[in-house]
Amino acid sequence: MRVFKFGGASVKDADGVKNLASVLKTIGYDNTLVVVSAMGKTTNAMEQVIKNYFENKAELQSSIHEVIKYHNEILLDLFDNERHQVFADVKAFFDELNMFFKSNKSPDYNYVYDQTIGYGELISTTIISNYLNEIGLKNNWLDVRDYIKTDSYYRRANINWETTQERISSNFNTSVLNITQGFLGSDANNFTTTLGREGSDYTAAIFAYCLNANSVTIWKDVPGVLNADPRYFENAQLLNQISYREAIELAFYGASVIHPKTLQPLQQKEIPLYVKSFLNPKADGTCVSKGKTLEPEIPCFIVKKNQILISLSSLDFSYIVEENISEIFSLLHLYKMKVDVIQNSAISFSVCIDNLYNNLEKLLQHLKAKFNVTCYDNVSLYTIRHYSDAAIKELEKDKTVLLKQLTQGTVQIVTK
C-alpha cells in the first residue's frame, strides 16, 4: 500500500490534472491512495469568500463566482461533454456552499472557516476522480471526513486516533486506487474541521499510519527537499537523504516542503517519506527515513515572513521570573499565538509569534497592563540549521537584526 499526495500547484489547471494521471501511469497506481489539495490558489480565493461573508456581503457572490469560473474552465478543458456527471457534481458542491451562507447563524469565524474552506478539496478531488475514470484509471472517490475524526478545535483540529484508526481499518479497500481530500476531517457532530494550512501532507501520514503503508510520496514542483527555499535563496541544493529527526527539526522551524505534524506518525511505524518532483517522477528525490543523516551536510536555511516580535520589560525594573513567564505563556495560549522564538534576560523577555487568529491587539492590551511593551510587526524570522560563521554573515548582510539566538546546531535571527 502506497500513499501519494499532490498539492495545489500540481493540479492548478487541466494540464496539471493530466500530468497527475501521467505520474500514476509512470509510477503505477495499484494499491494506492492519492490525497489531493485544492487546485492552485483556491484556498486563498476561498479565504477571500469567507472574508466577504463577514465584512463585505455585497462582494460575496462575485467572489464565489470567481471560484466557480476557475473550476469550470478546468472542467471544460478536461471533459468534451458538458452533460458529463462531473459538471452536476461540482455544481452541487457550490450549491451547498451558497446554502450554508444563507442558513448559517453562527458568528464564529473559525467555525465558518472550517465549514466552507474545504470545498476546494472536495471539488478538486471530484474533478480528478472523474477524469481518471474517464481515461481508464478506475478509482474510488472517498470523503475524507468519513474517515479522519477530530476534536472541534476549528482551523487546527486534533486527531482522534482511536476512532480514525477504526474508521480507516474497517471501511477502506486497499486493493484499488482511491482518491481523497487532504486538510479535512470532521468532529463528533460531523461538522467539518481542518488540520491547519498545508495539512494535506499530514492527511497522507495519517492514512499511511492507519493502513501500515509501505511509503508516502509527496509530489512537489521542486526536485525534493532543498537546503533553502529557492524563492528566497539562491543556489539551493537538493538534500538526498534526511533522518526523521532532522526533518522534524526542519519542519518545526518552518521548512515549507513538509508539514510539521507529518513526520511523527511516519516515524512511529518507520514508514519512509519521499519528496519527489511531479515534473520528473522517475528521479530519486529526497528520502526521509530512519537513521539516515543529512546528506549532503550543508547549512539549511528557513525563512518565515510576516512574523510579530514582542519585547517586554518589567515596569519597575524587577526581574522577570517564573511567575511572569508563566503568565506570559498563559496569555499566548489564550490568544492562540504560535510561538517561534523566545529569549529572556533578567529584566526582559522577547517572543516572535505568528498571529494566525488575528488576536494581536487583544494580546497587546493585556500585556501592557503589566509590562513595558515594544511590538515590531511584519518581521522575518530566519533559521539556519548546521550553521557556519560564513552562512550567518551572508544572511545578516544588509538587514537590521532585532534578535539573534544561537543554540547547538541552530541559529535564529529576527530581522526588520
Mean predicted confidence (pLDDT) in 311-338:
95
- What would the mean pLDDT of 246-274 be, rounded to a whole number? 89
Residue in 354, 326, 328, 356 with CA at minimum distance from that of residue 339: 354
> What percentage of the chain exceeds 90 in pLDDT?
91
- pLDDT for 291: 83
- Predicted local confidence at residue 89, as pLDDT: 98
pLDDT(257) > 90: no
138-161: average pLDDT: 98
Q: How far is CA 370 from CA 164, 184, 315, in A?
A: 44, 40, 7
Cβ atoms of 129 and 142 closer than 8 Å: no
- Residues ≥6 apart with Cβ < 8 Å to 50: 109, 112, 113, 116, 117
pLDDT digits (tens, 9 = 90+) for 66-124: 999 999 999 999 999 999 999 999 999 999 999 999 999 999 999 999 999 999 999 99
Q: 179 — phi, psi (to 5°)?
A: -120, 130
Q: How confident is the model at residue 340 (pLDDT cuts 50, 70, 90)?
A: very high
- pLDDT value at residue 197: 72
First to last CA, the chain: 47
Give, in order, the Cα–Cα distances in Å from 319 to each of 311, 328, 344, 347, 350: 15, 14, 10, 5, 14
pLDDT on residue 198: 72
> What confidence score (pLDDT) does residue 384 get?
98
> What is the predicted pLDDT for the residue at 106?
98
Helix or strand (DSSP H, E) at 128: helix 119-134
Q: Distances from the Cα of 300 to the Cαs of 239, 291, 305, 326, 410, in angstroms?
A: 9, 19, 17, 32, 9
How far is the C-alpha of 24 from the C-alpha of 325, rounded, in Å?
52
How far is it, in rounded angstroms, from Cα 409 to Cα 279? Answer: 34
Q: Which pLDDT band holds residue 27 (cuts at 50, 70, 90)? A: very high
Q: Supply the CATH classification number for the domain 2-213.
A: 3.40.1160.10
Structural domain boundaries in the chain:
2-213, 301-415
User: CA-based Rg of the chain, rounded to a whole angstrom?
Assistant: 23
Measured CA to CA, the distance from residue 222 to residue 226 in angstroms comes to 8
CATH fold, domain 301-415, is: VC0802-like (3.30.2130)
Residues 248-277 have a mean pLDDT of 90
* Mean pLDDT value across residues 260-266: 89
Average pLDDT in the chain: 96
Residue 154's pLDDT is: 97
β pairing state of 241-243 and 192-194: unpaired
Question: What is the rounded CA–CA span in Å between residue 180 and residue 235?
Answer: 36
pLDDT value at residue 34: 98
Which residue, among 377, 340, 382, has the nearest Cα to 229 in the 3D structure? 382
